[in-house]
Structure 1
């Protein structure tokens, strides 16, 4: 269980493999919701100045590039993204693991485009390495609901806290009346309006 609430000052965000091709493999959540949630997390990190590590897998193949919104919102993180080639567990990539360690944060907010592959293994490794982990379940998905349920259960049993995008943003915000909180609230309301209009 998480020992303390995650905050802008003690958390790093890991966004794993939100690539245009890979997103097409998800069926447990509508692609529009998955993308909107990943984008909302990126916006929250930018507003709160939370360190973000982006990674992609085999961009030159069917997986394709990271979604363009990540480059627009987080240009520096996008430029510094860790390009993995065939390494399933992002934490098993030396460059990615070093970038995570370099943040100096022990609380990791993790979202991967497929919970059953991209997310589960780095989460298990991070927990083994002593990190506190929250998995943003709806900023990822799986090819089937069964696969998604199984992977989320496995991560939870290993010690991860499973959360949702808006819950995670609210936890990081703490107070909607601050300048940052107001900006975050605007982003959350915008995302909710898009969801409700679908």
Structure 2
């Protein structure tokens, strides 16, 4: 990993410099993953908080007319009336419509949540970081087709400079301040078992 890549990853991620890329979070694929309810809870929390903070989202499916099925209905409710880019290319980053949508946001930090992790998240994450983007893969919001993520995928992403993160620390890093006007709403959106804020926790 280059010094420049290390510096970019350490730069704070904010609602002003980030874009959320939701890749192939589809009903058919989701029905085959390990721990679907936990993954769904983290994914929807990530989507809800991104929406609350004003982080733009780009959403893709692959072969949605087939067994992969349509995008999760809950995501459609969060990002109402937003187009979904359906494609045939395995690497979502190589789809020109996806690249154009990302570039139009002007953001250089790309947050990826894809099902499944080893292909739908890993491959575009490697492509995006190779083109100079600061890329974050939200591991607990990516569907896994086995109980544990691939060590090979984690190693490859880490070597390439992709940041592997979980939902809670990522969204709280973007919120940045417990005095944020939507802090309570954001904490309440996090799945059960994650830190929640009450009046006693604010100094």
**Alignment TM-score, normalising by the size of structure 1:** 0.89
Match of 1:81 in 2: 84
Aligned residue-pair number: 187
Secondary structure in 1 aligned to 2:25?
coil
Q: Is the 8 A contact 1:20 1:63 kept in 2?
A: yes
| Segment drifting more, 148-157 vs 126-135 | 148-157
Which of 96, 100, 113 is 1:111 aligned to? 113
Which of 31, 51, 57 is 1:52 aligned to? 57
Structure with the higher helix share, 1 or 2:
1
Secondary structure in 1 aligned to 2:32?
coil
Match of 2:41 in 1: 36
Q: Whole-Å Cα distance in 2 between the matches of residues 193 and 3 of structure 1?
A: 27
Secondary structure in 1 aligned to 2:16?
coil
C-alpha RMSD of the superposition: 1.5
Q: Whole-Å Cα distance in 1 between the matches of residues 36 and 152 of structure 2?
A: 20
1:45-65 C-alpha deviation (Å, 9 max, x unpaired)? 110011100100111101001
Secondary structure in 2 aligned to 1:175?
coil
Q: Is the 8 A contact 1:19 1:63 kept in 2?
A: yes
Q: Following superposition of structure 1 onto structure 2, how do residues 64-75 of structure 1 map, counting pairs within 5 Å?
A: 64-75=69-80
Q: Whole-Å Cα distance in 1 between the matches of residues 66 and 149 of structure 2?
A: 24
Task: Give the number of the structure whose alpha-carbon radius of gyration is greater.
Answer: 2
- The alignment status of 1:177 with 2:179, answered yes or no, reads yes
Match of 2:22 in 1: 15
- The alignment status of 1:192 with 2:192, answered yes or no, reads yes
Which 5+ residue runs of structure 1 have no aligned equivalent?
Answer: none
Q: Whole-Å Cα distance in 1 between the matches of residues 108 and 135 of structure 2?
A: 8
Secondary structure in 2 aligned to 1:183?
helix
